[in-house]
Structure 1
Amino acid sequence: MTKINPKIQKNAMLILSTFLITLLALFFLFPLVWMIVSSLKNEASIYKDMTSWHAFVPSLDFKTWLNNYANLFQRFDIFRYIGNSILYASCVTAGSVIINSLAGYGFACFKFKGKKFLFGLLLATLVIPGETILIQQFQIAKNLGILNTILAVILPGLASPFYIYMFKNFFEAIPDDMIESAQLEGASMFRIYWQIMLPMAKPAVATVGTLTFIGSWNDYLWPLMVLTDSNKFPLQVAITNINNTQPVYMNQVMALLTISTIPLIIIYIVFQKYLVQGMGNVGTGVK
């Protein structure tokens, strides 16, 4: 039997894997491309091109590309909804990074009775679907008197067992000598956390911040439950109301969905390196 040249075999595997990865990427990208292209067309063209490859080609009349966006902003107060989403997502992201990093710092650097049991109990909550406790969260928000306020949207998203676990692993990977040296210099434990530990955990901060912002931006069910004033709706909740407001234009719907997607794409591109690095180090740091 003729032995295949290892170099040729390696190149063939590279070409095959590249082809399969590209095919898979296109499979996930084509709905996004269709959405963006449809937002640049008139209503009749969307339905006319639905069953052909023309569905992925925008109108050749460049001057009409932004007409759907202009009409959408004239009909609805989109800037208000975008501002609400940015406010909610930014507050949840900042609070999540601080609270989860503090909890992770406590588990990593402090010794106290029942620490392992408490941490194990914390990790056990990861198997509980978030939807199963929505009613309990709603009752708590109602008893606190914060329904239809910004606090009702923000507070439930501040703490996450997975993010605490991630910060704990990052902090445990930092040598004890650095902490001991800072203590000998008279630094308090909070100062050590704020000036030494947190800056060294930039991949974890970027990962938690990115995932939290995306999760908060895309959150639909919880804001819908706790908010009754439409002026306080985030963009995702407003999309449903807009889609039910007659007349409904498909090209304007696609324009609105494109607007809601663009910030997430930008954030992912900017923080991609830190996100990959942070997720890759989730299982490290055990002393």
Structure 2
Amino acid sequence: MNKKASKILYYILMTLLAALFMFPLVWMISSSLKPEAVIYNDLDSIKALLPSGHISEWFFSYKEIFGRFDIVRYMMNSVLYAGSVTIGSIAVNSLAGFAFAKFDFKGKRILFGLMIALLVIPGETIMISKFVIAQKLGILNSQLAVILPLMASPLFIYMFQNFFKAIPEDVQESAKLDGANQFQIYWKVMLPMSKPAIATVGTLSFIMSWNDYIWPLMVLTDSTKFPLQVAITNINNTQPVYTNQVMAILTISTIPLILIYVFFQKYLVQGLSSSGTGVK
């Protein structure tokens, strides 16, 4: 097979793969823009992927879902949780990564090895332990119970550690000669050089928190504190259930993730592929 044929086959396969992944998203959005009955009437045709032919019907399901449920509150809760987790995750994991990369202390290798070993342990297996800790701290049914456990991540610590470790020691030594202490080196030198890592950890933290369902469901009993993902389940179980309204709330919950990825895609790719020198 010549080079041109291989390239054509590659693009065909990529197009088919993209269509496969895009199909549920397109169907979800189009279903949210048409009446309930039309969704089922169009299932056996290409019209299933198209919105209603009447523009006046496009946002009827959104108007209805906002009228039936306090969607704005749920969205604000999700923004609060995701924003707090993102900021906290960058701060906590970058500090830990800086310590592992630039400090020498007793038991460092063992501690770092144990932390890396945590990467192979599914998060679901330690949920009960986290719940017990949250209960003993007295933070159940509060925003802190949702935010605090998501701030630290072995993967993000490893990413920052790998990034900081690749920065030449001469940079740190030059800062010391200028009179900077360790925190000033971290804050004024290391962090500005690690923007791709910050963007990567921030983006992944936001997505992880925004999509989190099981943990908020476990620690929250007050429905006014539910994030959007937990509220979606309640909406889906509240009679009467309308498919177009369910698709509307799912579309609302998906749009922020798409926007985050579109705007931070460049930094996300750099952060995942960077050698950690801070020089691009």
With the length of structure 1 as denominator, give the TM-score of the two structures: 0.95
Moved over 4 A (4+): none
Question: Which of 108, 118, 127 is 1:125 aligned to?
Answer: 118
Match status 1:101 vs 2:94: yes
**Shift of residue 53 of structure 1?**
1.5
Matches within 5 A, 1:70-81: 70-81=63-74
In structure 2, stretches of 5+ residues that fail to align are: none
User: Contact 2:167/2:276 (CA < 8 Å) preserved in 1?
Assistant: no
**1:153 and 1:110 mapped to 2: Cα distance?**
31
Aligned position for 1:176? 169
**Shift of residue 284 of structure 1?**
6.1
**Shift of residue 13 of structure 1?**
1.3
**In structure 2, what residue type is equivalent to 1:86?**
V
Identity of aligned residues (%): 66
Deviations 1:201-250 (A, max 9, x none): 01100000000000000000000000000000000000010111111110
With the length of structure 2 as denominator, give the TM-score of the two structures: 0.97
Question: Which of 135, 141, 151 is 1:158 aligned to?
Answer: 151
Match status 1:137 vs 2:130: yes
Deviations 1:143-163 (A, max 9, x none): 111000011000110100010
Q: How many residues align?
A: 277
User: Contact 2:194/2:276 (CA < 8 Å) preserved in 1?
Assistant: no
Aligned position for 2:264? 271
Question: Which of 127, 148, 154 is 2:141 aligned to?
Answer: 148
In structure 1, stretches of 5+ residues that fail to align are: none
**In structure 2, what residue type is equivalent to 1:51?**
D
**In structure 2, what residue type is equivalent to 1:77?**
D
**Shift of residue 51 of structure 1?**
2.1
Deviations 1:82-140 (A, max 9, x none): 00000000000100000000000001011112211111111011111100011111111
**2:142 and 2:276 mapped to 1: Cα distance?**
39
Match status 1:193 vs 2:186: yes
**1:284 and 1:78 mapped to 2: Cα distance?**
41
